[in-house]
Chains A and B, each alone.
Chain A
């Protein structure tokens, strides 16, 4: 089945004319129709547009002139990325009918590469959450166990790849929202260095933390996706001018002599023993391949979560101030006056977690509390960054668990704080702005995926990816697929 294949496998078939983009698009759309009612990954399926784009790709392959390694490849996009003429909800009722008049830069780049967009994927509302249970519409299910969450906030993006409902997808990661669902769903999930990928058209949650990245079936695909979207964008003042290397070129270089740091603070009580043994086994495999491992310390790890839950909500409370019923989105009718309209619209349009974070952020920035909360968190952020800087003086990459546990049941984590603790290993990486990837590292006895995380220095995605690739090549996790009957 074409839907089993990776991007590079599919591209190979297209080039050899053994299959066409239209066939691939049709198969994916059929599979979505059959299985997505159970998985619930998609918010919007753009079937007609996808087939039109696929037909254009067919012609290019016929003429022997594909646009890129992604030409004709069916992809899904997290619904936090603006797509011109296609509803973009951010998983929120307040934007349920919002149709952007413009494309995000990453969307435009994928279009120029010839990719075929199948639709928009479900997510925690405004990217706030770790389970996709905060979506304003419905909860996506983990294809490995439909009673469990796929992780969040990019739950739909992860589930779609795991269930072969897209060849690859884009998600976003602010505190772990790519890496954690990738771990829960058994995919490769990459968060690039902050600034590596343009945020123009990414509906902002926390401006200094948000990054866009791919979910893929294997590491080579992640390199191909990153290649298509990375690079400076004059419309995003925080996007880096650092040149974009050829990410696929050095993938097979292996890890001989690579210095791998194992952070002591990531192996704590509360880490699921099956996750721990899978991650330690992964480290052993890397040693076997020639990597040199040593213990490193990231002493401020435990403070990272607290700092994040001040900085993120502070920036979010600001970024979400614009959702007020004036220019777009929901407006609750029948208000007495403007302020009544604002309050009722935001009260009705935002879900509980979003309201919580807007309140927390507003409080942290308010006069009298600003220095004690927001100001303090910014300084702690510096300490977290310095931890990584010190560690990276001695090692090239850091290998650690992605999450403290595997996918939990829908409804299991009712208390906000216990939900936040999911992100304890991913958050520090966002605070420091570093690249991180989660790759499949095995399964629990109950058959749930486990992820291992590789963290690198700023703009060294190549090193991160080649480490992940070496490990992936030495294992067979990717061959196992969830059992999903129509």
Chain B
């Protein structure tokens, strides 16, 4: 049987990095599905890409910049309107615990 491409431990690590709470059932199906997808993607290894530069931008451009001229900000009310938890003029978030 081929080596699994991704272990359960890696699934849990990645879920932590991505801040995604997954149920045990989800973790198991995620592991299986990612394994299948990564196996498929593995065909890329066969391709020789020695000396081939990576493409980050589909259409090459450089030096797109703007002048340092102020533009009116959006009103505070607009920016806070979608806040799930608003505290006066601020967004409020729950207790922050360092990992």
The 8 Å CB contact of B43, one of A306, A342, A381, is A306
Chain A positions 411 through 433: 1 when the CB is less than 8 Å from some CB of chain B, otherwise 0: 00001110010000000000111
Chain A, 303-362, CB within 8 A of any chain B CB: 303, 306-307, 309-310, 317, 321, 324-331, 335-344, 346-348, 350, 352, 355-356, 358-360, 362
Instruction: Find the A residue at minimum CB distance from B53.
Output: A382
Tell whether, in the assembled complex, residue A307 and residue B84 are in contact, meaning their CB atoms are under 8 Å apart.
no
Contact check: which of A237, A350, A380, A420 meets B44 at CB < 8 Å?
Answer: A380
**Chain B residues whose C-beta falls within 8 Å of the C-beta of A362 in the assembled complex:** 14, 17-18
Pick from A321, A346, A381: contact of B55, CB below 8 A: A381
A373 touches B41 (CB 8 A): yes
Contact across chains for A310 and B41 when beta carbons are under 8 A apart:
yes
CB under 8 Å from chain A, chain B span 41-55: 41, 43-45, 47, 49, 52-55
Q: How far is the CA of A350 from the CA of B78 in the complex (A)?
A: 25
**Residue numbers in B under 8 Å from A237 (CB-CB):** 64
Find chain B residues with CB under 8 A from A382 CB.
49, 52-55
Q: Are B21 and A329 neighbours in the complex by a CB distance under 8 Å?
A: no
- Indicate if the CB atoms of B84 and A339 lie closer than 8 Å: no
* Beta-carbon contact of B20 and A350 below 8 Å: yes
Once the chains are docked, how many angstroms separate the CA of A416 from the CA of B14? 19
State whether A306 and B40 are in contact (beta carbons under 8 Å apart), knowing that A99-B81, A379-B54 are contacts in the complex. yes
Q: Which residues of B contact A337 (CB under 8 A)?
A: 94-97
Q: Indicate if the CB atoms of B34 and A356 lie closer than 8 Å.
A: yes
- Indicate whether A379 sits within 8 Å of B37 (C-beta atoms), given known contacts A338-B96, A338-B97: no
Which residues of A have CB within 8 Å of B96? 337-338
Q: A137 interface residue, CB < 8 Å from B? A: no
Which residues of B17-38 have CB atoms within 8 Å of chain A's CB atoms?
17-22, 26, 30, 33-34, 36-38
Measured between alpha carbons, how far is A335 from B85 in the docked complex, in Å? 13
Contact flag A336-B94 (CB < 8 Å), given A331-B84, A377-B44: yes
B91 adjacent to A240 (CB under 8 Å) = no
CA distance A363 to B15 in the complex (A): 9
Knowing A330-B84, A363-B34, A379-B49, say if A101 contacts B74 (CB, 8 Å).
yes
A439–B41 CA distance with the chains assembled, in angstroms: 31
Q: A338-B93, A355-B20, A363-B34 are in contact. Are A378 and B56 (CB under 8 A)?
A: yes
Inter-chain contact A380/B19, CB cutoff 8 Å: no
Contacts of B33 in A (CB 8 A): 356, 416
CA distance A326 to B85 in the complex (A): 8
Contacts A238-B61, A355-B26, A356-B33; A325 near B97 (Cβ below 8 A): no
Closest Cβ neighbor of A343 among chain B residues: B21
The smallest C-beta distance from A88 to any residue of chain B, in angstroms, reads 11
A377 to B57, CA, bound (A): 13
Q: Is the CB of B59 within 8 A of A102?
A: no
Q: Given A303-B47, A347-B20, A376-B44, are A329 and B54 neighbors across the interface (CB < 8 Å)?
A: no
Asked if B97 contacts A379 (CB within 8 A), the reply is no
Task: Mark each residue of chain B from 55 to 99: 1 if its CB lies under 8 Å from any CB of chain A, else 0.
Answer: 111110100101000000010001101111100000101111101
CB nearest to B43 among chain A residues: A306
State A342–B99 Cα separation when bound (angstroms). 13
A347 proximity list for chain B (CB < 8 A): 20-22
The complex places the Cα of A220 from the Cα of B33 at a distance, in Å, of: 43
Expressed in whole angstroms, the minimum distance between the Cβ of B74 and any Cβ of chain A is 6
A238–chain B nearest beta-carbon distance, Å: 7
State A283–B35 Cα separation when bound (angstroms): 40
| Interfacial chain A residues near B44, Cβ < 8 Å | 303, 306-307, 310, 376-377, 380
Name B's A-contacting residues (CB within 8 A): 6, 10-11, 14-15, 17-22, 26, 30, 33-34, 36-38, 40-41, 43-45, 47, 49, 52-59, 61, 64, 66, 74, 78-79, 81-85, 91, 93-97, 99
Extra A-B contacts (17), CB below 8 Å, given A309-B37, A378-B55, A416-B37 = A101-B79, A102-B74, A195-B61, A208-B58, A302-B43, A303-B47, A338-B96, A343-B21, A356-B30, A359-B34, A362-B18, A363-B14, A376-B45, A379-B52, A379-B53, A417-B36, A432-B58
A–B pairs, 12, beta carbons within 8 Å = A98-B82, A194-B58, A194-B59, A195-B58, A195-B61, A240-B59, A310-B44, A331-B84, A337-B94, A346-B20, A363-B10, A377-B44
